[in-house]
Structure 1
């Protein structure tokens, strides 16, 4: 299913099982294209499967929104003010919205970064599952990371990484944030702001990360000497890589990633989408050339029923996924397992019949009675 909007889309996140939040726009450079925040509903029983449900227009003289995240109630969106305001030290670039009684409501804004450079923006943002904290990283070569209290948008702590931050995510329990640099991953306590663990991945170029539980994180990377996309898994408690697999040798880079409940989705530089089973890193399906331009965001719905993608070509695509896909066993594998089980039962029956025919049980009993 496909829906075209009147603006390029740069970010998205599911609000619930069937409502997708998207944002984007033309920015300060193109006032003819609006900046908007839109909620669309998805229902494959309707004639029009994807439908606009709620929409807020943002200021036309400001930059386009660059990232968005939500836990289903707290919505954080980053959008720079206009260049003139930023150069004068004013940039209320972090916006907080609520989804209240099925309506989008603007609640609060705050200036997090003190930068007066209009070209600097919030590159990544994520909200903890309980909605209590938000984590932000800037776009500079020496990126700053901010952890904010979502109740008042005040900064809890700030880290200057002195390097480029490729991606950022929060653990399911909200106690750890992880950020990826081109050649490492770092883990920070959201309570103390202290470093918990760090792993140098000098043989790889890291692009995306997502926690799959409180202790392990999935890493998307390329290798310097081998073409293709790799999936890695890192364990915080073991401080080591626990899995490593080349999943595709044709795609050169990954533009977006999503993970939920056993499923991984990756979008490639060729506008394709890979759907992967997390338990064994097996590619379940490849959706080729989903959009006309690069994919800016992909999301898996909370119930694992839908896979969505957005693009700067103004479009939203949604695929309906088979039920229980993360735990699905292919029919041929299931048939093979059942066949092997049946063969094992037949062989056991033949062996028992052989023992009975040659009175093996009586002979063993007699032998044991004499010697023990």
Structure 2
């Protein structure tokens, strides 16, 4: 998995998973030196070989902490002790694990860092106050469906306003998807403002939700969902109004399932990785594909990220490679610049 720290360094998490694969499970922090096209390793932590590789890295915007998913050993999972949501403190010298939770795979911090959302194979969304880690509202059940993705409203532009003791209270949203369900909840009480069951574009076509993101910057009024057809004949990105919840536009992105999805901090770009081992970038306003790079990895990309200044696009895969692309000011044919690839 890949994540950029608030200062712009890049954290990589990966490995061979549980068992004797010969590839160690690690968390490693790097400084990117773009002019020299090199990287400098700042620190590295080798994790237990009995546990799974790290996934779903999410950074706190103000403190040097991040959350990630690391499945416990098979023995602990069998007895119901899968402490797979971990919170780490970090510096350029070391990582220190400070908390863990059970049965959580997806994690995300709110923009102000006061909330931590977790979800996963237990089919429950849990939102915690940070740093107390007290439950903000009762867990929300997704009826035995694994939670695939979740995201906080980053700006408050989608927020609802309520009066409490003559004071205006801003209530932010969180969006969550499972294979067949999308919910948008209040972060105050967990109230469901909008829900979609079973994404359908044609009655004869079976579709599944795969990913979701709120817009940022110029796209702050919107949110986006990825919908894959189960037949793998098409995959879509759907743009929604985050205030009225109306569908604005739907765009066919390709014939292979999208396996990873993200949005740039300036809100201009939607990044994706696909099951044909390719990566691409769409315009967030028109959903037009601006860039498509085929066969970047030996396996489908599992993680992608934009740098905070939206000039770099990074992808990683189960083939244990990471690719870093420098984005052009204008997207024209042949403008892609792969800075470097490393293992």
Determine the C-alpha separation between the residues in 2 that align with 1:252 and 1:38.
31
- 1:148 paired to 2:128: yes
Q: Find 1:137's aligned residue among 119, 123, 126.
A: 119
Native 8 Å contact 2:3 2:59 kept in 1: yes
Determine the C-alpha separation between the residues in 1 that align with 2:180 and 2:78.
33
1:158 corresponds to? 139
**CA-CA distance at 1:172 after TM superposition:** 0.3
**CA-CA distance at 1:89 after TM superposition:** 4.8
- 1:210 paired to 2:216: no
Q: Which of 1 and 2 has greater Rg? A: 1
Determine the C-alpha separation between the residues in 1 that align with 2:227 and 2:85.
29
Native 8 Å contact 1:97 1:104 kept in 2: no
1:189 corresponds to? 186
Once the two structures are superposed, residues 2-42 of structure 1 have per-residue CA deviations (whole angstroms, 9 ceiling, x without a partner) of xxxxxxxxx11111464111112223323632211111222
Determine the C-alpha separation between the residues in 2 that align with 1:231 and 1:90.
37
Equivalent pairs, count: 303
- Structure 2 residue matching 1:131: 3-state secondary structure: coil
Q: Find 2:173's aligned residue among 172, 176, 181.
A: 176
Determine the C-alpha separation between the residues in 2 that align with 1:277 and 1:216.
13
Determine the C-alpha separation between the residues in 1 that align with 2:223 and 2:305.
17
Unaligned stretches of 5+ in structure 2?
157-171, 202-206, 334-343
- Relative to its length, the structure with more helix (as a share) is 1
1:336 corresponds to? none
1:279 corresponds to? 285
Native 8 Å contact 1:183 1:205 kept in 2: yes
**CA-CA distance at 1:82 after TM superposition:** 2.0
- 1:259 paired to 2:263: yes
Q: Find 1:20's aligned residue among 10, 15, 38.
A: 10
Determine the C-alpha separation between the residues in 2 that align with 1:232 and 1:245.
6
Once the two structures are superposed, residues 156-192 of structure 1 have per-residue CA deviations (whole angstroms, 9 ceiling, x without a partner) of 3311110243321111047221112333421011211
Equivalent residue runs for 1:211-226 within 5 Å: 211-213=214-216, 215-223=221-229
2:33 corresponds to? 43
Determine the C-alpha separation between the residues in 1 that align with 2:311 and 2:32.
11
2:168 corresponds to? none
- Structure 1 residue matching 2:139: 3-state secondary structure: strand
**CA-CA distance at 1:266 after TM superposition:** 0.7
2:314 corresponds to? 308
Determine the C-alpha separation between the residues in 1 that align with 2:25 and 2:44.
11
Unaligned stretches of 5+ in structure 1?
1-10, 114-121, 332-372
Determine the C-alpha separation between the residues in 2 that align with 1:182 and 1:264.
21
- 1:54 paired to 2:43: yes
Determine the C-alpha separation between the residues in 2 that align with 1:31 and 1:192.
44
- Structure 2 residue matching 1:155: 3-state secondary structure: coil
**CA-CA distance at 1:49 after TM superposition:** 2.0
**CA-based RMSD:** 2.5
Q: For residues 222 and 59 of structure 1, do their structure 2 counterparts lie closer, same or farther at Cα, with a shift above 3 Å needed?
A: closer
Native 8 Å contact 1:128 1:172 kept in 2: yes
Once the two structures are superposed, residues 70-114 of structure 1 have per-residue CA deviations (whole angstroms, 9 ceiling, x without a partner) of 1343300121222333444544332212344x444314122344x
Native 8 Å contact 1:18 1:43 kept in 2: no
Equivalent residue runs for 1:81-160 within 5 Å: 81-100=72-91, 102-113=92-103, 122-139=104-121, 143-156=123-136, 157-160=138-141
Native 8 Å contact 1:308 1:316 kept in 2: yes
